[in-house]
Structure 1
Amino acid sequence: MDFIVVRLGKDSVSNIKKLNETSSVKFKPYTFKFTCKQVESSIKPNCYVFLYIGSDNNKGIPTDWKQGMRALGILKSIDGWENFQSTCVLTIEVFSVFSESLDQFNFLEKSPNLYKHFSKYPIVGVKSSRNNSVQKVNNDIRENSSALLTAISSLYSNFKDDLNLRAPNLLSLLDFIPESDLEVPSNSESKNLVSNKSDTRGENVIYYGAAGTGKSHKINERINLKNAFISVFHAETMNSDFVGSIKPDIYLDDSNKEHLTYKFIPGAFTKAIVESLNHSENHYWLVIEEINRAPAAAVFGEIFQLLDRRKDGRSKYEIDFPDLLCEKFINRELKTPIDRLFIPSNLSILASMNSSDQGVLPLDTAFKRRWSFEYIALNFESGCTQGDLHINLEDGVTGVISWADFASVINLTIGRKGIQEDRHLGPYFISEQEIGQLNILTGKLFMYLWDDVLRHGLRYEVFHKKITTYGQLIKGWEEGEQVFNSDFLIEVRPFIDTSSLLQNS
């Protein structure tokens, strides 16, 4: 059973008011339409919908209603969907409205042992980082829908009756019992708190978005590094690197004399296949960073055919082994030999890509059709690199502005000129290790803007017209001169810490 969370906001005030009104009288199920963008392709009709009522403004002004999880329904249809960015209309049938909006404090107060099992649940979870209005539940170790439903049942006395009438197949999920408290590992282990068990079907997913939005971080949250095989594509990556090839090797004879020989050295794909077939009880991940920096279809080669999957996640088709040595290697390593090559249901392939870089290659339609795409949107509110930048406001005068505010003004400026979002600055474009470096602007940010984003006649939307070369930009900055244009600085100044203004001699 699939679940999604729909956040109702400033464009859905009438629906929010109706939810609040219906809960106070004898409730009758009803249907409403919700218009939105950024709906994942994997979201289909007949999935269950948690309705979360949020704010009607983005200024922090209190609302007339309590914000929180408010109702449960089912998705009847999706109309107008063409891609992730297209506008579509969701038809939702509401069949259970809770006695009040349930927020994090309700769950933590009444069901703390349950809450830790859905603490990453979209919107209501303390670790939720996605910002789109419609979010699919991943059902991983901290997105447990059964735990959430059980918690709601303990807070809303009529919930079980509602389900019995309208969704009896959910009743079995109301008896979630935590097996044990989830341990909180330290350091790097906390970033990979994912079950090894093969309880999900294999899938092919590409995460894409602007530079610095956290695509690799998103992948790391979904995998267990102990069960992951990681590869980075680049311009020289070939099929023989990905699958494996014959390479020279040195071996010692009985007298310790070295001899040159040749053997099959497996690539990341072959290693992942062997491990996942030998340990079907566990789930494995093949991670491909920067998938479109190489000609992906050529790198996959014959494996391309295996990307079509059945409902259980196993390859829909099988292929012959690429060569005899590959076949011998795989069957020598397997507990049970196979006749043909396929991707098992306990192996997922996750990839990242940034379509805006100059050095990337396009993915052909047939290749893309075999993947699900998840867009990582720009969202500074859910998290970003913390720190301040010192910028030249005018000749000899500097001021301090937070990275989040400065990047937001940059994005607003270039967005007005029609520059697509995947070329904007992501929240983590500058890392925590870089934020304090003196040359971080000249050595990274300015180069990206000057040579990449603004290179086609748009440089003076941000920079001063007196600057004609990148070298002049760097020299002017280092000498404390004004390098930004006046219109840009007008938008920057409201975010400057006035106590930080410094007149340089």
Structure 2
Amino acid sequence: MPMPNIATLRLGKDSIDSIKKINDEKRGVIEPPFQITVECTQVPSSFNDSYYTLVWLGSDNSKGQATEWKQGFAAIGRVISVERSGEFKDTTQTKVSIGYIFPEPISRIDILREAPTAYYWASAMPIIGLEDRANQTIRIIDSSEERCDISALFYAFNMVTTDFYHEIDKVYQDFKETFNYIPPSPLGDGSTLNGGEVVETENEIKFKTGYRSEFEHNRIVFGAPGTGKSHKLKEDCDSMLAGNFGACERVTFHPDYSYSQFVGTYKPVMDNNSEIRYEFVPGPFMRVYVEALKSSKTPNPQPHVLLVEEINRARVAAVFGDVFQLLDRDDDGVSEYEINTSEDIRKYLVKELGASQDYFKKIRIPDNMFIWATMNSADQGVFPMDTAFKRRWHFEYLGVNQNDSSLTGKITLGKGNHALEVNWNRLRKAINEKLAIDYKINEDKLLGPFFLSKKFVRTNEANDWIANPKEFIEVFKSKLIMYLYEDAAKQHKYKLFDGCDSSKYSSVCDAFDEIGIDIFGDGFRDLYEKQEV
């Protein structure tokens, strides 16, 4: 496929409306594209509607003063029409459809900082060139000229904006030929310049980035229902990403979840021309993996986290497949062992990361990629994990009474002689003790502090009374009593609810409305009073 025609479009003080329109628009792929109109002189005669434009936000003054916007390449568009009024110096009206906007404008300094070798091969281009002084609005990029390599410029864009290749391919497939480019060294020896130091080009992708964290790379948080496992991982993720530019992706496993969903597979997709084609569609593991490797190429690698909810609801050995081998990490957090990649994955990695296919014949997990998961072994429908799989994880247990100090809500349950002022946390502990002592129920089936969501036990600001008692009672019946009746105490439900008719779940709920905690039978009030909160 030949390289598409590309020109630069510099917007200045005569195009303030277009600058503001681009600057105020959302970032990424623009659907549908919007149009800008530029009037200028000295437009090259060969410039027509076959061209793409790299749109540069320039200055609104000639005094070198700062602008409200960052100056740099801000968008990519397709020329719709070019209407000339006469000679070269006469005004020409150009209409451009903007289909992609960078996360933020990319300046010459950005390119020099993130992709110095690539900049060398683009250093004679309009606007960003080392010796460029011209100020025409529209200038054609002639890739046949020395140091005017479009592939090098796009490589630099992808280094500055790590998702550039992926995003631009969604809207302009003509640029796909540039995605496999690796900038050769100006020294001619297969190396590249990085901050003045000569290094191997493909070593810009690093598995050992030097990123350090107090958190384990592979960790599983487990505990009884309502102990706050997901909340714990979210807090830790927010803490690690605070002040960073890393990212977190969350996925929930289920019994039908598969390797192809987790890692990726070929799928039919529809392009912009509504035609069906097949391409490798990454799963959450591969998406996070690629983002971590992209970050590894930067001077300041950032953490990237894959959060797996309910990891043991799927057959983990089948879901992880050969990725299982990568979970063995060394002291630095890098996979100790490599795995071979399929051709599909190699091509995808080349497209996203810009190295050669040979470089991705074997892969490892980098030290800036974290895989965290939650697990509740007591749930129905979970699958066992084998010892070899468990050995590769750091397990953290959340106790059934851990972090319960914030539970202070009080409510009156029952009517008439059965009415009793009840502290929710004390009631929870009393139920747990009855389950554990009387019926030998395992701890992983007991009630954690957050078994009922915080919004249901929220208290009034003036006191510790539950703000919406009616809502609390309804969720207590529909969630907690149901859990005890159908799951945790299923084999003992007639004894557990011996203070009422326990022949039907609905009968227990009706009784709870009338007699409150006395549904748990004689002696339960004494057990309740013994609990410390």
Question: If the TM-score is normalised by the length of the shorter chain, which range does it land in?
Answer: 0.5 to 0.7
1:414 maps to 2:435: yes
Selected match of 1:345 from 346, 349, 367: 367
Contact 1:297 1:304 in 2 (8 A): yes
Selected match of 2:486 from 451, 455, 471: 451
1:490 maps to 2:490: no
Q: Distance in 1 between matches of 2:281 and 2:403?
A: 46
Give the unaligned 5+ runs of structure 2.
1-208, 458-467
1:247 Cα deviation after fit: 2.2
Q: Distance in 2 between matches of 1:374 and 1:494?
A: 30
Match of 2:302 in 1: 282
Contact 1:244 1:266 in 2 (8 A): yes
Return closer, same or farther for 1:452/1:389 CA change in 2, 3 Å cut-off: farther
1:412 Cα deviation after fit: 1.3
Q: Distance in 1 between matches of 2:445 and 2:508?
A: 21
1:409 Cα deviation after fit: 0.7
Match of 2:379 in 1: 357
Match of 2:276 in 1: 260
Q: Distance in 2 between matches of 1:471 and 1:395?
A: 21
1:426 Cα deviation after fit: 0.6
1:334 maps to 2:353: yes
Return closer, same or farther for 1:243/1:495 CA change in 2, 3 Å cut-off: closer
Return closer, same or farther for 1:202/1:385 CA change in 2, 3 Å cut-off: closer
The more displaced of 435-444 and 405-414 is 435-444
Contact 1:202 1:314 in 2 (8 A): no
Match of 1:244 in 2: 264
Q: Distance in 1 between matches of 2:228 and 2:260?
A: 29
Deviations 1:183-215, CA, capped at 9 Å, x for gaps: xxxxxxxxxxxxx99223862111101111111
TM-score by length of 2: 0.52
Q: Distance in 1 between matches of 2:256 and 2:417?
A: 47
Matched AA of 2:447: L
SS at 1:486's partner residue?
coil
Contact 2:339 2:363 in 1 (8 A): yes
1:372 Cα deviation after fit: 1.3
Return closer, same or farther for 1:495/1:317 CA change in 2, 3 Å cut-off: closer
Match of 1:404 in 2: 425
Matched AA of 2:505: Y
Match of 1:207 in 2: 221
1:397 Cα deviation after fit: 2.9
Contact 1:269 1:286 in 2 (8 A): yes
Contact 2:403 2:449 in 1 (8 A): no
Give the unaligned 5+ runs of structure 1.
1-195, 497-505
Return closer, same or farther for 1:480/1:240 CA change in 2, 3 Å cut-off: same
Return closer, same or farther for 1:467/1:385 CA change in 2, 3 Å cut-off: same
Match of 2:396 in 1: 374
Q: Distance in 2 between matches of 1:483 and 1:382?
A: 25
* Pairing of 1:65-464 with structure 2 (within 5 A): 198-200=211-213, 203-224=217-238, 226-253=246-273, 258-280=274-296, 281-321=301-341, 323-337=342-356, 338-379=360-401, 382-392=404-414, 397-416=418-437, 417-435=439-457, 436=468, 437=471, 438-457=473-492, 459-464=494-499
Q: Distance in 2 between matches of 1:381 and 1:270?
A: 35
Return closer, same or farther for 1:199/1:380 CA change in 2, 3 Å cut-off: closer
Q: Distance in 2 between matches of 1:384 and 1:427?
A: 9
Q: Distance in 1 between matches of 2:216 and 2:367?
A: 5
Q: Distance in 2 between matches of 1:247 and 1:327?
A: 16
1:468 maps to 2:510: no
1:474 Cα deviation after fit: 1.9
1:229 Cα deviation after fit: 1.8
Q: Distance in 2 between matches of 1:487 and 1:213?
A: 27
Q: Distance in 2 between matches of 1:264 and 1:298?
A: 20
Q: Distance in 2 between matches of 1:359 and 1:390?
A: 36
Q: Distance in 2 between matches of 1:330 and 1:240?
A: 16
1:227 Cα deviation after fit: 1.6
Return closer, same or farther for 1:331/1:389 CA change in 2, 3 Å cut-off: farther
Return closer, same or farther for 1:453/1:405 CA change in 2, 3 Å cut-off: same
Matched AA of 1:273: Y
TM-score by length of 1: 0.55
SS at 2:280's partner residue?
strand
Q: Distance in 2 between matches of 1:199 and 1:296?
A: 28
Computing the radius of gyration over CA atoms, which structure comes out larger, 1 or 2? 2
1:490 Cα deviation after fit: 2.8
SS at 2:249's partner residue?
strand
Q: Distance in 1 between matches of 2:288 and 2:345?
A: 14
SS at 1:355's partner residue?
coil
Matched AA of 1:448: Y
1:422 Cα deviation after fit: 1.2
The more displaced of 276-285 and 197-206 is 197-206
Matched AA of 1:343: I
Match of 1:36 in 2: none
SS at 2:339's partner residue?
coil
1:361 Cα deviation after fit: 1.1
Q: Distance in 1 between matches of 2:263 and 2:489?
A: 39
1:375 Cα deviation after fit: 0.6
Return closer, same or farther for 1:380/1:272 CA change in 2, 3 Å cut-off: closer
Q: Distance in 2 between matches of 1:391 and 1:467?
A: 19
Matched AA of 1:400: E
Q: Distance in 2 between matches of 1:381 and 1:332?
A: 46
1:404 Cα deviation after fit: 0.7
SS at 2:492's partner residue?
coil
Please give the root-mean-square deviation of Cα atoms over the aligned residues, in Å.
Answer: 2.5
1:272 Cα deviation after fit: 1.1
Contact 2:378 2:445 in 1 (8 A): yes
Q: Distance in 2 between matches of 1:359 and 1:341?
A: 34
Contact 2:484 2:493 in 1 (8 A): no
Deviations 1:106-153, CA, capped at 9 Å, x for gaps: xxxxxxxxxxxxxxxxxxxxxxxxxxxxxxxxxxxxxxxxxxxxxxxx
Return closer, same or farther for 1:301/1:381 CA change in 2, 3 Å cut-off: closer
SS at 2:370's partner residue?
strand
Deviations 1:207-258, CA, capped at 9 Å, x for gaps: 10111111112111221465212111111211111001222222233xxxx2
1:355 Cα deviation after fit: 0.6
Matched AA of 1:341: I
1:383 Cα deviation after fit: 3.2
Matched AA of 2:430: V
Q: Distance in 1 between matches of 2:527 and 2:289?
A: 53
Alignment: residue pair count: 295
Q: Distance in 1 between matches of 2:391 and 2:220?
A: 11
Contact 2:309 2:375 in 1 (8 A): yes
Q: Distance in 2 between matches of 1:483 and 1:269?
A: 48
1:380 Cα deviation after fit: 5.3
SS at 2:347's partner residue?
helix
